[in-house]
Each structure stands twice: as C-alpha cells, then as structure tokens.
Structure 1
Amino acid sequence: MAKYKTTDEVLSMSNNISGKVVVITGASSGLGEVTARHLAALGARVVLAARRKDKLDALVAELTNAGGQAIAYQTDVTSQEEVKTLIQGAVDTYGRIDVLINNAGLMAIAPLSDTRTDEWDRMIDINIKGLLYGVAAALPVFQKQNSGHFINIASVAGLKVFSPGGTVYSGTKFAVRAISEGLRHEVGGSIRTTTIEPGAVDSELKFGSTHQQSRDFVVDFYKHAIPAESVARAIAFAIEQPADVDINEIVLRPTVQEF
C-alpha cells in the first residue's frame, strides 16, 4: 500500500528550493521577473540577468528589502562572453549554481514572404544561441559539482508550427526542445533538464513583432493569456523535486486556448 506523505514531508519537499542558487536570464520583465519573485520568496538565491540594468537593479532592491538574496548582471545572451561573466559572477558570489533558467526570448511574428531576415537572425541568436551559450557556461560548473538543473523555456509553438507568421519562431522553439532532450540524454544522471512549454502567458513577448498586422493578431490572441505566475509555479515544481526525479517536460496553456 502506498504511504501518504505527512505535512512535514510535503513542507520539506517545498523547502528543496530554499538556499539554491538560481540564475535567470530575461529577468527584467514578464516570466523571468515573476519567477525571480516566486523563487526568492521560497528562499532561493537568485542571480538576475537581462539587458535593462535599471529594471534589474529595481528588482534586486525589491527582493532584498523583502529579506531575499539577489544579485544582477547586465547580460545580453547573444554575447558568449557576457554569459560567461554572468555564470562566473554567480559562482564567485555564492560558490555554486544549482539551476540555470534559460528564459530570454524573442517572438517576432511576420509572414515568411516579408523576408525579415534581421528578425530571423535575432530570434536565432537569442532563442537558440543564447540558450547554448548558457549551457556552455554552466555545464562545466554542473559537472564539477556533480549536480545542476537546466530549465529551458520553449513554447507550445515548439510542439506545433505557429503559422502563418510564426514559422521561424516555431523553428527556434522546436530547436529548444531538441537541444533539451539531447542535453538530458548526454549529461543526465546527476544533471537534470526540464523544458517548459507555455501557451499564451502575459508578458512582453507578445509585443516582439514589428509587422503591424501580425502584432495586432498576436495581441488579440493573448487576450486570454494566463498570468506569468502560472509558469513560475511550474518551474518551482520542477526544481523542488528530489535530486533523483527529473521533470523533463511541462506543457501549460490557457484552458480556452486551442493551439
């Protein structure tokens, strides 16, 4: 007969987040910002990364004033050197890294016939190469520690192509899923890998399109978006599991979302 967990055991599981060092890219707004608040409230030591340093500094002040531990690094994930500096700074400050959340992303929706190659390049640089730079910087740390956890933010658009308009974006998110699965297979054992695949979530992501018709469509599509806290809770669920449990994939979307 299965043994039910006691209240103390459940609380102990939640406390598996307390004290962990969590690096979050794209932390200046939206999902990253909300996740930082949520994890800091659970006792995590958060290392925040984004390009907008003023927003990072304001968030660090908010979290530390509330009794949390937080530091920030101005980081453009398309720069391998800046990502290396971020990871090294986290290790220098806290002595280790337990979790890297590769959250920075861009969704620029437009018809392929518009051939907005600059936006294609930007999505590839941020959504794919930025994630890989994070892996390249953190993986040696995780291997030396013999522990660590990658959490990569993909999308339901990485399960089904979001077209017309989102073909290249979907391509980058399919890549995130492929990289995550390969990473899990190659370095699993003591290092965990989780892919989070949200549907419409309230964030700045919906404003990434410069093609006005596509932007209007996306903003309308997101009118039933769920709060970013929904994704933050899913991330916390993956982190709080015992070390021998690897939550590999979580898909979540608004109940009314068909896609």
Structure 2
Amino acid sequence: MESQMLAGKVAVITGASYGMGETMAELFAEEGAKVVITARGREKLDEVVNRIREKGGEAIGITADVCSLEDTQRVFREALANFGDVDILINNAGIGEQKMIDETDDDWMKTVMDINLGGPMRYIREALKIFLPKNDGVIINISSVNGTRPFCGATYTSTKGALNTLTKNVAMRLIDTNIRCNAVAPGATVTPAHLANRAGEQPGGAKMLEYSGHYVYFPGPECEPIDQAYACLYLASKMGKAVRGQVLQVCNGAFL
C-alpha cells in the first residue's frame, strides 16, 4: 500500500459541501487526513461526510457561517474535541458575483467582503491559536485568477486581490515559524458556481463580461475540481515544505 501523504493530519476545510471544497475533502481523506468540513447547509454536508466514511476515511461536518465569529470558534472547538488537533486550514468558502461597480451598493459590498475576506481572516486568526503554540501548521487560501486579472464583479475581484495580499502578509508574520501560508488561485473550474457564472446566473448577470471579456481567454480550457485539490495537496504536504507566501495559479494556461 502506498504511504498516505497526510497520514495523521487534521484538516479544516470551509465551504466543502460541493465543488472544489468537496473534492479537496475527499482527496485529503484518501491521503490519510481526518477532515473537518463546513458549510451553511446540512444536507449536502452530510452527503460528503458519509461518502468519505464509506471509503474508510474520517470526517465530520459542521454547519457554520464564515461571517460568524461564534461559528468560526465553534468549528475549531469541535475539531479539537473530535480529533485532538488541527494541522491544516483551507479557506475555500466564498461567493462569486458579477456586479459592476456602478451596480454595487454598500450592503452587497459588505456582504461579499465579509464572506470572501473576513471569513479567511477569522479562520486564520483562530487557527493560529492552535498552530503557534506547537509551531506547526499549514494555511491555504483559495483565491482566484481574478486576484490579478479582475474580470468578474467589482467586489469579488477586490476581495481576491486582497486575499492574495493577506496570504503574503500572513506568510511574512510567520516567516520565523514552521507555519506556512500560501494560496491557490483557480482559473475557470467546472463547479456549480462556475457553470452559473457562464450562464449569467450569478448576481449581476453577465454584463461585466461585455467589458472585461476581451481581456481574458474565457471560456478557455477549463480545469476540474481535482486540479485545484491536487494543488492544495502539494502545498499541504511535505512537497510544499519550502513554499511560503505564494499564490499558485491553476488555470490550465487560460489566464497567462
């Protein structure tokens, strides 16, 4: 039997009831990690947990809103209560949108910023309460090609650019520790959110793409969720032990 790359590790993965987060959870469990997955809805979360357990993996699902500090703290308490430790954090939960700046009101702006940037900041802060005392841990933020090529909604793209900056800032803070912080920036990846975006069904529709579409190869060669999960596995395992503060773009060459 091949050795598992994450044997004995405990991973918290937010937004893991479908899409990339679901695939990350399943891959990490296959590689030996005990996974703690979160989402706002219970039904799909339980489906992922049950699927992992049926394959012999260990997983728990916790309903939680990344905008809630109380929920965030509860996730880590339950992770420790069930598995005794946390070694890996993947900030995957997020919301996509296509609202142009002139269509973006304050309430929408604050909502998207709180989910896409506030959520990762809360989770990193709570994870460090576990990582710093033991001087070990891995943080992976799920960003987007929009962090550097901002063709989607005004608030979404701004949060992804900010998440890239946060990744480097946290890596600098942790440079004298054994805690690594990096990001994965997916390109077009076949998930429910991406398919909704292509169909013009995300908030804001497809109007922004009339302005930004000629700057990007879209739709180009799409990635699969497993491509993003493999990138996270690289960063979370010993393969990525010398990588810090990097934003790894996984886009199949569509956004060079």
Alignment TM class, shorter chain as reference = 0.7 to 0.9
Partner of 1:92: 81
Partner of 1:203: 191
2:118 matches 1:129:
yes
Shift of 1:223: 7.0
Q: For 1:222 and 1:68, locate their aligned partners in 2 and report how far apart those are by CA, in whole Å.
A: 36
Shift of 1:221: 4.0
2:166 matches 1:182:
no
2:155 matches 1:168:
yes
Question: For residues 1-259 of structure 1, what are the structure 2 equivalents within 5 Å?
Answer: 15-162=4-151, 165-188=152-175, 189-206=177-194, 207=196, 209-214=202-207, 221-222=218-219, 224-241=221-238, 244-247=241-244, 248-255=246-253, 257-258=254-255
Q: For 1:243 and 1:199, locate their aligned partners in 2 and report how far apart those are by CA, in whole Å.
A: 21
Gaps of 5+ in 1: 1-7
What SS is found at the alignment partner of 2:32?
coil
Q: Structure 1 residues 211 and 54, CA, compared in 2 at 3 Å: closer, same or farther?
A: same
Q: Structure 1 residues 216 and 176, CA, compared in 2 at 3 Å: closer, same or farther?
A: closer
Shift of 1:88: 1.2
Q: Would you say the 8 A contact 1:202–1:222 is kept in 2?
A: no
TM-score normalized by the length of structure 2? 0.87
Q: Which amino acid aligns with 1:231?
A: Q
How many residues are treated as equivalent by the alignment?
244
Shift of 1:115: 2.7
Shift of 1:146: 1.4
What SS is found at the alignment partner of 1:73?
strand
Shift of 1:152: 0.4
Q: Structure 1 residues 254 and 214, CA, compared in 2 at 3 Å: closer, same or farther?
A: farther
What SS is found at the alignment partner of 1:212?
coil
Q: For 1:215 and 1:45, locate their aligned partners in 2 and report how far apart those are by CA, in whole Å.
A: 41
- Tell me how large the CA RMSD over aligned residues is: 2.3
Q: Which amino acid aligns with 2:222?
A: A
Q: After the TM superposition, which segments of 4 or more aligned residues of structure 1 sit over 6 Å from their partners?
A: 215-218
Shift of 1:242: 5.8
TM-score normalized by the length of structure 1? 0.86
Deviates more, 1:242-251 or 1:44-53: 242-251
Q: Structure 1 residues 205 and 118, CA, compared in 2 at 3 Å: closer, same or farther?
A: farther
Q: Structure 1 residues 190 and 122, CA, compared in 2 at 3 Å: closer, same or farther?
A: same
Q: Which amino acid aligns with 1:59?
A: V
Q: Which amino acid aligns with 1:212?
A: G
Identical aligned residues as a percent = 30
Q: For 1:177 and 1:212, locate their aligned partners in 2 and report how far apart those are by CA, in whole Å.
A: 25
Gaps of 5+ in 2: none
Q: Which amino acid aligns with 2:230?
A: R
Q: Would you say the 8 A contact 1:16–1:242 is kept in 2?
A: no
What SS is found at the alignment partner of 2:206?
helix
Shift of 1:105: 0.7
What SS is found at the alignment partner of 1:152?
strand
